[in-house]
Amino acid sequence: MTAWVTEWFGWFYVLLATAVLVFVLYLGVSRYGHIRLGPDHSRPEFSTFAWASMLFAAGIGTDVMFYSVVEPASQYMAPP
């Protein structure tokens, strides 16, 4: 079933992901990219560097949680 969906709708997935990426980039560089979410006097709680650091740490944490379970199982199923 998964192979059938991938074979017949893989192009749609790639097209949809590309369209969403282009749309989000357009929103970021258009006049809508300067709209502030929240009151006019509000300022960001975190700097851009802090946001990037939190995203990096969250990505690493997710990988550690995932691979701590998957890697031993994959090594067991296909030993080196």
Per-residue model confidence (pLDDT) at position 1 = 80
Per-residue tens of pLDDT for the chain, all 80 residues: 888 888 899 999 999 999 999 999 999 999 999 888 889 888 889 999 999 999 999 999 999 999 999 988 988 998 87
pTM: 0.57
Per-residue model confidence (pLDDT) at position 79 = 83
Check: CB of residue 52 under 8 Å from CB of residue 44. no
Check: CB of residue 33 under 8 Å from CB of residue 27. yes
Q: Where are the alpha helices (DSSP H) in 1-80?
A: 2-29, 48-77
Q: Where are the domains of the chain?
A: 1-35, 42-80
